[in-house]
A and B are shown apart, each in its own frame.
Chain A
Amino acid sequence: DTAVSQTPKYLVTQMGNDKSIKCEQNLGHDTMYWYKQDSKKFLKIMFSYNNKELIINETVPNRFSPKSPDKAHLNLHINSLELGDSAVYFCASSQVGGSYNSPLHFGNGTRLTVT
């Protein structure tokens, strides 16, 4: 009964390809996020969705497109992959409405390697 699950765990692909990472949460949270962790372990917010609506869209190349079919799912699609996209991508969720002190609950991460 994993709370936040993302697939795949590892993704190795060549430059120029298009790939997707899926994320699902069963916590009933209303907000989901995508974070990128680079080789120096720095965590950078990419996107945030609240009840399927985009509320945070940091400076991310438009090759990255999030899609939220419902509030339990937030997928990340990446077009024309580049070497610099190699990183660990984390999906996370939290409850914004109601319980203000809800922390982030993270998925186990997807290690993307672009060759």
Chain B
Amino acid sequence: AQTVTQSQPEMSVQEAETVTLSCTYDTSESNYYLFWYKQPPSRQMILVIRQEAYKQQNATENRFSVNFQKAAKSFSLKISDSQLGDTAMYFCALRNTGNQFYFGTGTSLTVIP
């Protein structure tokens, strides 16, 4: 069975600062994909970043980057130069070889002006 754990229900960060959201997962598979989704108050689910488990290089998308530690089964999201528009719920997700997606319980991030 696969599980995804986000241990920080709520976080806050000052505008322009950097924040890291934690995610750990458990899977017995060697090949899988990891994702971070953002859900702003508008409730849209927006893909932020993705990481292939077979790639050692950490994915980066503009101000968003991940720290993927495969042995530790950790997949944290770093947001640099935080902006007010980053205020949202953030979900970590795992896609397994059976093409099923597993989501964490989310971290509510507030960017403080």
Interface residues of A (CB under 8 A from B): 31, 33, 40-43, 45, 48, 50, 56, 88, 90, 92, 94, 96, 100-101, 103-106, 108-109, 111
Q: Are B106 and A45 in contact (CB under 8 A)?
A: no
The distance from the CB of A61 to the nearest CB of chain B, in whole angstroms, is: 21
Give the total of B residues in contact with A, Cβ under 8 Å: 21
Binding site for A on B (CB under 8 A): 33, 35, 37, 39, 43-45, 47, 50, 52, 89, 91, 93, 95, 99-101, 103, 105-106, 108
Which applies to chain A's interface (DSSP): helix, strand, loop or mixed?
A: strand
B50 touches A43 (CB 8 A): no
Distance between Cα atoms of A74 and B91 in the complex (Å): 24
- With known contacts A41-B105, A109-B43, A101–B99 Cβ distance under 8 A: no
- Which single residue of chain B is at the shortest CB-CB distance from A42? B105
Q: Which residues of A contact B103 (CB under 8 A)?
A: 42-43
